[in-house]
Amino acid sequence: MLLEGKVAIVTGAAGNLGSACACEIAKEGAKVVITDLPGTGLEAIADRIREDCGEVALHEADLASEKDVKALVRSAIEEFGGIDVLVNVAAFMQGIDKDRDLLTMSSEYWDKAMAVNLRGTMLCCKHAIPTMLERGGGAIVNFGSTAGILGDVGLFAYSATKAALLSLTRSIATTYGKQGIRCNSVCPGSVWTVATKDMMPASMLEMMTRTRLTPRLGLPEDVAAMVAFLASDKAEYVTGQTFMVDGGGTAHQPWVRME
């Protein structure tokens, strides 16, 4: 197993991507601490992971709160003895209509996106890295997005946070690499989740499928497989990089016709 003997924290674990990552990492032998906001159904996710995947503990937290993040890291250390892997999936995107137009978007919405997506990820890294260093190193996987790579009509706050995370990833990899810390980003694109289904009209989903270089849209499990690899020692020579998990969507010009 890729992650046998490791301890991992997975944020945003109540969502489709986070729960898939937590389950895949547990299947690969790691002990996993899952976290998300209170009232998001973490207990049900934990039960499913225990039944189908492996060993898990849960800790509810608001990642925009440094106090909550400190408590999360403490709980992982108390439960499993330390932290080897950190997977930062948690993200805030509360309805595409609220992020569609810069001229009408509220400053409060922008600040909330920054607080969760960027500050929350930074805080998790800030407080997890010291215990990783005590254990001789560790692996961090941050969740960017293809929205942080390519321009879009809308998604101003979300895209800005995801682009900033890619820079944070490189800075962490550069600063702590010689001390055994690896940090990479994955950028999912056109991945079929409950949020995708709720947000996207059928015509857009059809267009997204047509413009992939693969026969189908992605699944959370596709992203989770990449995350598990990057978290493992198999990727020990890979750091500071950004990986598109998007069915080739960012690999070609948009006017190339796919049959």
| Mean of per-residue pLDDT scores for the chain | 92
Cα separation, 43 vs 63, in Å, equals 18
What share of the chain has pLDDT > 90, as a percent?
71
- Give the pLDDT band of residue 196 (cuts 50, 70, 90): low
Domain assignment present for 50: yes
Is residue 131 situated within a structural domain?
A: yes
Residue 194, pLDDT above cutoff 80: no
Q: 28 falls in which pLDDT band (50, 70, 90)? A: very high
Q: Tell me how many domains the chain contains.
A: 1
What local confidence, expressed as pLDDT, does residue 218 receive? 87
- Residue 17: pLDDT over 90: yes
Tell me the C-alpha distance between 88 and 31, whole Å. Answer: 16
Does 150 map to a domain?
yes
| Residue 2 resides in a domain | no
11 found inside a domain: yes
User: Is 138 or 99 the better-scoring residue by pLDDT?
Assistant: 138
Average pLDDT over residues 239-259: 83
pLDDT tens-digit readout, 117-146 = 999 999 999 999 999 999 999 999 999 999
In CATH, what number is assigned to the domain containing residue 50?
3.40.50.720
Residue 78 lies in domain: 7-244
d(CA 95, CA 92): 9
Tell me the average pLDDT across 73-99. 91
Would you state the pLDDT for residue 198? 62
What pLDDT is attached to residue 195? 64
pLDDT per residue as tens digits for the range 142-174 = 999 998 898 877 788 999 999 999 999 999 999
Inside any domain, residue 258: no
Q: Domain for residue 144, yes or no?
A: yes
89 phi/psi in degrees, rounded to 5: -95, -30
pTM summary value: 0.93
| Annotated catalytic residue, options 109, 158, 176, 237 | 158
Per residue in 45-66, pLDDT (tens digit) is 999 999 988 999 999 999 999 9
Nearest CA to 165 out of 190, 138, 183 is that of 183
Told to judge if 109 belongs to the known catalytic residues of this protein, a careful annotator would answer no
CA distance 155 to 157: 6
Q: Which of 39-53, 90-104, 231-245 has the highest mean pLDDT?
A: 231-245
In a domain? residue 22:
yes
* Structure confidence at residue 189 (pLDDT): 87
